[in-house]
Structure 1
Amino acid sequence: MTPTPQTGLDGPPQNLTGKILIAMPGMADPRFERSVVLVCAHSDEGAMGLVLNRPLPEIGFDELLDQLGIEAADDARRIEVRFGGPVEPGRGFVLHRVAAHGEDPEGRLRIGQALAMTTTRDILMELAQGQGPDPAVLALGYAGWGPGQLEGEMLANGWLTGEGADELIFDASHDDKWQRALRIQGIDPSLLSGEAGHA
């Protein structure tokens, strides 16, 4: 039997790491309404992702460093702070570019050839000193799914999967990011229905 392309429920699940999830109009969870999520890890044990289009303007990078007791230099890299998801909202994840080849230190998860997520305090200290990776963004919290949960939500028409993460991750223009994510897939947002696929 051939696996279903997106969910793979008839066979080994397709690995969605590095893909984006675009919330469909019928998304049941209001926390993810019109959200675009980067899948950072996906396996038969579940999935983890970071929301790409929810800035947190009330929390500045300087304020965050201050809360962590990290002193910012005058030339500190002041990166954007975003809502990464509802799970562990006090935990920070830095999305950043990396060299296509090389060792990944502890605390860094490679998402694609040239993209990674780092969770250590060291990267924040580097950014506070005007160093560290460029570009980079900081997400607070993450989106998490248990075994088979994401696949179930996709079957229920909650998410559309797609490409184009590179064009969306570091872009600070969030108001139309959901629409742009759909257009990258060749979909006109005005034609989407939350009832698509239901008899």
Structure 2
Amino acid sequence: MSLFAHTSFRGIERSEPAPGMLLISAPDMNSDDFRRSVVVLIDHGQQGTFGVVINDISEQAVANVLPEWALCMAKPQAVFIGGPLFPENALVLGVAKPEVDIDAAPYLNRLANRIVHVDMRADPTALVHELEGARFFVGWAEWAPGQLEHEIECGDWFVAPCLPGDIIAPGKVDVWADALKRQPMPMPLLSTHPGYDQEEN
């Protein structure tokens, strides 16, 4: 996906992909779907990988799509574009409140720490008491078996732990830059990279 494999992403020790981990796209990513994107992995195994882009906000309000879910959403209460595949499908990720026993909550599937994949068969009015905030996504990203590992090795992605604040970051926060800033050097230096489009233009 990158125009060239980013040496900083290849030359530093990185975590392994797993549910609840972040994929941070390389600064030189030239894919329209993944430029300056941050993906949280929901499933990763022998059958492949899927996750959602957490920093691509649309102009559509959740209240206009599924109004009953709006009360669970962190601000901005907008629909997020989770990826290029299956745009007709929706899913919800959330951050459980510190006092919630996630393992005993039937509609919350833990991804990492307090980050959960929410079963949309749940009653959102009940989830208000269990969630600190949530995000509503349409579409997602998928990788065939072995594909993601190859892209990581080529320097397209850096794998890092996801924090609850990444999921429900305020709309003005640059999640991509913030995620890079908290990584080992030299990764923070890339957080101000202008991106592929600006370099070419």
Separation (CA, whole Å) in 2 of partners of 1:149 and 1:126: 39
**Shift of the alpha carbon at 1:171?**
0.4
Selected match of 1:29 from 28, 31, 34: 31
Give the SS at the match of 1:56.
Answer: strand
The 8 Å contact of residues 163 and 184 in structure 1, kept in 2 or not, is answered as no
Give the equivalent residue in structure 1 for 2:117.
Answer: 117
Question: For the Cα contact (< 8 Å) 2:93–2:135, is it kept in 1?
Answer: yes
Instruction: Flag the 1:103–1:151 CA change in 2: closer, same or farther, 3 A.
Output: same
CA distance in 2 between counterparts of 1:124 and 1:25 reads 37
Structure-2 separation of matches of 1:152 and 1:6:
14
Q: 1:46 aligns with which of 48, 71, 80?
A: 48
Choose from 62, 82, 85 the match for 2:83. 85
Normalising by structure 2, report the TM-score: 0.72
Q: Percent identity?
A: 26
- Give the counterpart letter for 1:47 in structure 2: T
Q: Which has the larger strand fraction?
A: 2
Residues 21, 162 of structure 1: 8 Å contact kept: yes
Change (3 A) 1:18 1:192: farther
What are the Cα deviations for residues 152-182 of structure 1, in whole angstroms up to 9, with x where unaligned? Answer: 1111211111124323111023552211111
Point out the structure with max Rg over C-alpha. Answer: 1
Across the two proteins, how many residue pairs are aligned to each other?
Answer: 175
Q: Which has the higher helix share?
A: 2
| Structure 2: 5+ residue stretches without partners | 1-12, 197-201
Report what 1:134 is aligned to: 132
Q: Which amino acid aligns with 2:183?
A: Q
Residue segments in structure 1 that go unaligned for 5+ positions in a row: 8-13, 195-199
Question: Which residue is 2:142 aligned to?
Answer: 144
- Alpha carbons 2:21, 2:41 under 8 Å: kept: yes
TM-score (norm 1): 0.73
SS in 1 for 2:138: strand
**1:124 and 1:91 mapped to 2: Cα distance?**
18
